Chains A and B, each alone.
Chain A
Amino acid sequence: MTMDVLEKLTILTDAAKYDAACTSSGGSRGPKKGYLGNTSSSVAGCCHSFSADGRCVTLLKVLLTNNCVYDCKYCVNRRSNDTRRAAFTPEELADLTIQFYRRNYIEGLFLSSGVFRSPDYTTELMIRALRLLRETYRFNGYIHAKAIPGTSPDLVEQLGFLADRLSVNIELPSEMGLKTLAPDKTKGAILAPMKQIQTRNQQSKEELVKYRHAPKFAPTGQSTQLIVGATADSDFHILRLTQGLYDRYRLKRVFYSAYVPVVEHALLPSKEVKPPLLREHRLYQADWLLRFYGFRAEELLDEEHQDFNPQVDPKCSWALSHLDFFPVEVNTADYETLLRIPGVGVTSARRILSARRAGRLQIDHLRRLGVVMKRAQYFLTADHKMTDGLRFTPDSLLRSLVAAERPLLPQPELEQLSLFDSAGTA
Chain B
Amino acid sequence: MIYYYDGSFDGLLCCIFDSYANREVLTAIYCDEDLQPTLFACRTIPTDSRHARRVFRKVAMLSHDAADLLRRGFLTCLPEKELYLYRLVVKLLRDGPGFLRNASDETLYPVLRAVHHLNGEAHLLKGFVRFSELGGVLGGEIAPKNRVLPILRSHFCARYQGETFFLYDRTHKEALFYAAGKAVIRPLEDFQMAPPDETEAHYRLLWKRFYDTIAIKERYNPKCRQTQMPKRYWGTMTEFQGDAYFTAQSSPAAVSDRGAPVGIPAPGTLPESVPSAPESAP
Using a CB–CB distance below 8 Å, which chain A residues touch chain B?
5-6, 9-10, 13-14, 17-18, 30-31, 33-38, 40-42, 44, 46-58, 60-61, 96, 99-100, 102-105, 107, 258, 260, 274-275, 277, 351, 354-355, 357-359, 361, 365-366, 368-370, 410, 415-418
Seed contacts A36-B159, A274-B218; 4 additional CB < 8 Å A-B pairs:
A17-B214, A36-B162, A47-B229, A49-B229
Q: Does A48 contact B128, Cβ atoms closer than 8 Å?
A: yes
Q: Does A18 contact B216, Cβ atoms closer than 8 Å?
A: yes
Q: Does A260 contact B218, Cβ atoms closer than 8 Å?
A: yes
Q: Is B191 an interface residue (CB 8 A)?
A: no
Q: Does A104 contact B216, Cβ atoms closer than 8 Å?
A: no
Q: Is B52 an interface residue (CB 8 A)?
A: no
Among residues of B, the one whose C-beta sits closest to the C-beta of A33 is: B161
Nearest Cβ distance between residue A82 and chain B, in whole angstroms?
15
Given contacts A17-B213, A100-B207, contact A354 B219 (CB under 8 A): no
Q: Is B20 an interface residue (CB 8 A)?
A: no
Q: Which residues of A contact B224 (CB under 8 A)?
A: 50, 53-54, 415-418
Chain B, 228-272, CB within 8 A of any chain A CB = 228-229, 237-239, 257, 260-264, 266
Using a CB–CB distance below 8 Å, which chain B residues touch chain A?
98-99, 101-105, 109, 123-124, 126-133, 138, 140, 155, 158-163, 203, 205-207, 209-225, 227-229, 237-239, 257, 260-264, 266, 281
Q: Does B205 contact A42, Cβ atoms closer than 8 Å?
A: no
Q: Does B101 contact A13, Cβ atoms closer than 8 Å?
A: no
Among residues of B, the one whose C-beta sits closest to the C-beta of A365 is: B104
Q: Does A56 contact B102, Cβ atoms closer than 8 Å?
A: no
Q: Does B225 contact A10, Cβ atoms closer than 8 Å?
A: no
Q: Does B220 contact A47, Cβ atoms closer than 8 Å?
A: no
Q: Does B160 contact A46, Cβ atoms closer than 8 Å?
A: no
B138, B262, B266, B281: the one contacting A102 at CB < 8 Å is: B138
Q: Does B211 contact A51, Cβ atoms closer than 8 Å?
A: yes
Nearest Cβ distance between residue A274 and chain B, in whole angstroms?
7
Among residues of A, the one whose C-beta sits closest to the C-beta of B116 is: A370
Q: Does A52 contact B281, Cβ atoms closer than 8 Å?
A: yes
Which 9 A-B residue pairs are closest in the complex by CB-CB distance?
A54-B224, A368-B104, A53-B219, A51-B215, A358-B102, A52-B215, A365-B104, A52-B264, A48-B127
Q: Does A13 contact B127, Cβ atoms closer than 8 Å?
A: no
Q: Which residues of B contact A105 (CB under 8 A)?
A: 130, 207, 210, 238
Residue from the set A56, A355, A358 with the largest chain B CB neighbour count within 10 Å = A358
- The docked-state distance in angstroms from the alpha carbon of A52 to that of B213 is 10
Q: Does B158 contact A10, Cβ atoms closer than 8 Å?
A: no
B216, B220, B229: the one contacting A50 at CB < 8 Å is: B229
